[in-house]
Amino acid sequence: MGISDFDVAPSAGSRFGVVVLGVASAVAGVLAVIGWPLPVISSTHGRGQHAWARTVRGVHDWFAHDGWRMSGASWIYGALAVVALAAVVILRHPAWSGRRALLIIVVPAGVLLVLGPALQWALGLPWSNSGSGSAGGTAIGIVVTVVCGAVLTGVRQVLRRRARRDEEAPAR
């Protein structure tokens, strides 16, 4: 009996990670389809209600609404589902790394996250038909955050390339 008797095929990514990300993608996808409201994050300004009370009110409004529930939160949950599903694909193909993996994850999620709320705001639709509030502030916040993140990622890559060139350049 030799070592070759114990050889097994190499694993293609973490099975546990694939399962966890697959479940997260499915849950986020369901929340996107049903238009579940986003939890409210505490802030120092606002209507005076605590974040938890506003979250509970949003859930009560969601349950009380009769008919199809449309919500801008669906774009965010949808982008989260796409990110988790794309991460599963990347884990299943470990050879896909670097720029290819970044494009597979970021482009579809970024398009969904930016264009959805921006289009909803441009069409004058409310953030949710089961609650109150405009999509404007949220859409602008999402667009600014994603664009700033993309610019910072691009600047970081340019700086890394320059640093590599400087290291590889012969000393004079």
Number of domains comprising the chain:
1
Q: Mean pLDDT across the chain, nearest whole number?
A: 80
**122 pLDDT more than 70:** yes
61-78 per-position pLDDT tens digit: 878 877 667 778 888 899
71 vs 35: CA distance, rounded Å: 5
**What pLDDT score does 164 carry?**
84
**What pLDDT score does 77 carry?**
92
Q: Is residue 68 part of a domain?
A: yes
pLDDT exceeding 70 applies to what percent of the chain? 80
Please state the three-class secondary structure of 75-107 as a single string.
Answer: HHHHHHHHHHHHHHHHHHCCCCCCHHHHHHHHH
54 vs 113: CA distance, rounded Å: 23
Q: Is residue 36 part of a domain?
A: yes
Q: Is residue 6 part of a domain?
A: no
Residue 22 binned pLDDT confidence (cut-offs 50, 70, 90): very high
Residue 112 belongs to domain spanning: 14-168
Q: Is residue 118 part of a domain?
A: yes
**What pLDDT score does 3 carry?**
61
How many other C-beta atoms are found inside a 10 Å radius of the C-beta of residue 136?
A: 15
Q: Is residue 52 part of a domain?
A: yes
Q: Is residue 3 part of a domain?
A: no
| Segment 30-50 mean pLDDT | 76
62-121 per-position pLDDT tens digit: 788 776 677 788 888 999 999 999 989 888 887 877 778 888 888 888 888 888 888 888
Q: Is residue 8 part of a domain?
A: no
Picking from 78, 104, 108, the residue whose alpha carbon sits closest to that of residue 92 is 104
In the numeric block, the tokens 């600047």 are attached to 155
**4 pLDDT more than 80:** no
Which of 20-29, 109-118, 124-133 is least confident?
124-133
158 vs 163: CA distance, rounded Å: 9
